[in-house]
Structure 1
């Protein structure tokens, strides 16, 4: 029975991968057909250009909407590589990156619920459906960093207690955008006395600060 189950499992993964690739391709074409602006991505690039030029980051007003900088300075440093790409390449890379992050997000979410749910085929099928959810559509439409931040937070939440890198993901996410710092506070408030004493989440607080 085990011998029969193994080939069946091997067939399920390529099928799920094909469905996920087909869904992602359709999503990409739908976004191109909708002529998405990716306006937030343009702001990130402008922040990177301002850093490279040594300008006043918080005096920045960019795009036709005259949008300002709203993220911490560390985020602008991370955005500087965007200035090395032309607009078309930057948009394509951002879309591909966000789709990969979606798969990572689904994997970590299922793993957080139960390790048994994080099988490859389950992750791929769920990703194929999740890409059409409104929050994902909006994130890619505007070229936002929401999926990156979510993956960083979930990476931390799925680490074992006392892991040497525990807290780093939330710390980096909070350095990009302040909201994830709430997770560090939540973990300190809801953690057991032993967890707080051993301080596995203290790195998150240090990075957030």
Structure 2
């Protein structure tokens, strides 16, 4: 177990900073090369940049984005108006350099996560880039790691601070999924922090209404409910309970039962771990529960396997076998091994279903193992008290 009461040596922090900084510099160099060569780079960062340009040009944010590059899919802007305001600096950059900014921020975010979770394992940061959610987040120019870093810094490093909760609210103002951590704050008896998170989220939302009133009304009245066909998406890239059930049986009441079971189990685990002083473990339980119960959890949303690997490195006696297992499961090979797209997921064989739902099934099995371990420890503790 990591001794959280003892501050890690300065060398551990330097190693983490050097590793994340080196990766960030390499990604910036890659962005400069791609820009100089005129090569396409960054599908999602191109959407962020196009949304920012739509705001500056007075164009509708939730219609076709006219600044989308010719090489990029014609994707919509699916985030709150407050996110478009955050992305405004990207409008001043070429598309490839906008990707470079997001990619560098991702590398620095990984360093921040390592510093919070296990600074002594900062050397492993470049090795863990093989995790599919991480390399896909970097390749797409996504913000997943940045939001994860904001959440972990807020819930772990700033715990007890009068600012705790603010970063969670700001993360949710960029992408709604971090709102699950408001519930985490309530479950772990941090009501004041939850109120600050909701306050920061509401203030960011008010900024969106004040500066982009038409877009804000459209987003909160319609766009938010239909993004990515969330309620019916059976594509293999949707690694949530909803996606699994859609692939197995289409619409099913079983989904409701699975979601309820997942939420109840996560509440039990998160509170139990938090009561033991394991704040990081409690946050990870909430994060993986959020991935499972969300209608849409694209594979790149599963960046939480990165801090999971760091936890394993710090808490398991023979960690490498466990880390290799996690990397093997989340390296992306499973999606290349099964038929995908055009509804072919609905005809998967049992073996293909096992492989194609690997993220969901892995999280469920991992959660069951943690539940068993927590209950075993409780029984051992009670037996010790009776003796």
TM-score computed with the length of structure 2 as normaliser: 0.42
Query: Paired residue for 1:143?
Result: 141
Query: Paired residue for 1:80?
Result: 88
SS of the residue 2:167 aligns to = helix
Query: Paired residue for 2:152?
Result: 154
2:41 aligned residue (33, 37, 47)? 37
Q: How far apart are residue 97 of structure 1 and its match? A: 2.1
CA contact 1:47–1:76 (8 Å) conserved in 2: yes
RMSD of aligned alpha carbons: 3.1
SS of the residue 2:74 aligns to = coil
Distance, in Å, in 2 between the alignment partners of 1:27 and 1:105 is 18
How many residue pairs match? The answer is 185
Structure 2, unpaired ranges of 5+:
1-8, 203-387
SS of the residue 2:126 aligns to = helix
Distance, in Å, in 1 between the alignment partners of 2:172 and 2:152 is 13
Q: How far apart are residue 108 of structure 1 and its match? A: 1.8
SS of the residue 2:152 aligns to = helix
Distance 1:139 1:19, change over 3 A: closer
Q: Deviations over 1:67-124 (max 9, x none)?
A: 01100000001111111112343233332222111111221222xxxxxxx3xxx242
Distance 1:25 1:105, change over 3 A: same
Which structure has more RCO (C-alpha within 8 Å, separation ≥ 6)? 1
The higher radius of gyration belongs to 2
CA contact 2:49–2:98 (8 Å) conserved in 1: no
TM-score computed with the length of structure 1 as normaliser: 0.74
SS of the residue 1:200 aligns to = helix
Is 1:191 aligned with 2:195? no
After the TM superposition, which parts of structure 1 deviate over 4 Å for at least 4 consecutive aligned residues?
9-33
Q: How far apart are residue 19 of structure 1 and its match? A: 6.7
Distance, in Å, in 2 between the alignment partners of 1:20 and 1:99 is 5
Distance, in Å, in 2 between the alignment partners of 1:75 and 1:125 is 32
Distance, in Å, in 2 between the alignment partners of 1:129 and 1:10 is 22
Alignment of 1:92-131 (within 5 A): 92-110=100-118, 118=119, 122-131=120-129
Distance, in Å, in 2 between the alignment partners of 1:30 and 1:89 is 9
Distance 1:55 1:105, change over 3 A: same
Structure 1, unpaired ranges of 5+:
1-8, 111-117
Q: How far apart are residue 55 of structure 1 and its match? A: 1.4
Distance, in Å, in 1 between the alignment partners of 2:85 and 2:22 is 35
